[in-house]
Chain A
Amino acid sequence: AQSVSQHNHHVILSEAASLELGCNYSYGGTVNLFWYVQYPGQHLQLLLKYFSGDPLVKGIKGFEAEFIKSKFSFNLRKPSVQWSDTAEYFCAVRFGTGGFKTIFGAGTRLFVKA
C-alpha cells in the first residue's frame, strides 16, 4: 500500500539553527509532492510543492525541498529557523489515475526556542 513516512515526530531547535525534515514515500508511479504546514491555531496550508523539472523547489518563508527520485525522498530544509517557524509540518504525496488522492505523513512538530 502507498504510504508516506516522516522520520522525526518532534524536533526542537534554537533560533538560527538549520532544519532538515525527512520524508520518504512508497509508490512506484509518478507522484506530485507537497509540504504543508499548520501553525498554532491556523489551518493547514501549502508550504511548497514539486510537480516536475528542477528537483530543488523553493517555497514560502525561506523553505526549500529536494526531490530525490532514486531514494523516494522529499526532504524539507531551511538554513536558519526562526521562532515563528514553530508549527507542525506534513509531507504529502498525490498520485493516481482516473481519480487522485493525496496521502499525508504523520507530521513533525517543530519547536523553535527563542
Chain B
Amino acid sequence: KAGVTQTPRYLIKTRGQQVTLSCSPISGHRSVSWYQQTPGQGLQFLFEYFSETQRNKGNFPGRFSGRQFSNSRSEMNVSTLELGDSALYLCASSPGDGYNEKLFFGSGTQLSVL
C-alpha cells in the first residue's frame, strides 16, 4: 500500500507570491490533516478535512486555505507569502474521522520564502 504522498518535495518562492501544495492520502483514507513544522515550534495544526469538509481549523491567518477533493486528495494554498511562512508542511491521513484515529504522515513539502 502506497504511503502518503506530498508534492512537491521542495519549493522556493519569494515574498508576496502564492503557493499550492498537494497531498495524496493512503488509499481508502478519507481524512487529511495539514501541519506546519518549524524548529522549536513542533507541529502547528492547520486544518483537518473529512469527506471534502473542513472539520477543524487551527490558528492561522486566512492566507492559509485548503480543500479536499472527492478522491480524498487535498491541496493547501498559501497566498501573499511572508518570510515567516518558511517551514516544512506535513500532510497526514487517517481512515476516518474517529476519536481514536492515528495519523500517517507524508515526507512533507519544504517551503522556503526568500
Q: Hey, which bits of chain A sit against chain B, CB under 8 A?
A: 1, 6, 9, 32, 34, 36, 43-46, 49, 51, 90, 94, 96, 98-107
Q: Which residue in A46, A49, A101, A107 is a CB contact (below 8 Å) of B42?
A: A107
Choose among A32, A51, A102 the residue with the greatest number of B CB atoms under 10 Å from its CB: A102
Contact call B42/A43, Cβ cutoff below 8 A = no
Contact call B35/A34, Cβ cutoff below 8 A = no
What residue in chain B is nearest A88 (Cβ atoms)?
Answer: B42
Contact call A100/B97, Cβ cutoff below 8 A = yes
- Whole-angstrom distance from the CB of B54 to the nearest CB of chain A? 9
Question: When each residue 32-53 of chain B gets 1 if its CB lies under 8 Å from chain A and 0 otherwise, what string results?
Answer: 0101000011111100101000
| A–B pairs, 10, beta carbons within 8 Å | A9-B40, A43-B3, A43-B105, A46-B102, A94-B101, A99-B55, A100-B56, A101-B56, A104-B42, A106-B42
> How many angstroms from the CA of A42 to the CA of B15 in the assembled complex?
30
Does B84 sit at the interface, judged by CB under 8 A? no
Q: Hey, which bits of chain B sit against chain A, CB under 8 A?
A: 3-4, 33, 35, 40-45, 48, 50, 55-56, 58-59, 90, 92, 97-103, 105-107
Chain A residues with CB under 8 Å of B50's CB are 99
Choose among A34, A43, A98 the residue with the greatest number of B CB atoms under 10 Å from its CB: A43
Chain A residues with CB under 8 Å of B103's CB are 36, 44, 46, 102
- Whole-angstrom distance from the CB of A72 to the nearest CB of chain B? 18
> How many angstroms from the CA of A53 to the CA of B90 in the assembled complex?
31
Choose among B56, B59, B98 the residue with the greatest number of A CB atoms under 10 Å from its CB: B56
With known contacts A51-B100, A94-B101, A99–B56 Cβ distance under 8 A: yes
> How many angstroms from the CA of A52 to the CA of B55 in the assembled complex?
24
Contact call A43/B107, Cβ cutoff below 8 A = yes
Chain A residues with CB under 8 Å of B35's CB are 104
> How many angstroms from the CA of A21 to the CA of B79 in the assembled complex?
38
Contact call B102/A34, Cβ cutoff below 8 A = yes
> How many angstroms from the CA of A94 to the CA of B35 in the assembled complex?
14
Contact call A96/B56, Cβ cutoff below 8 A = yes
Contact call B56/A104, Cβ cutoff below 8 A = no
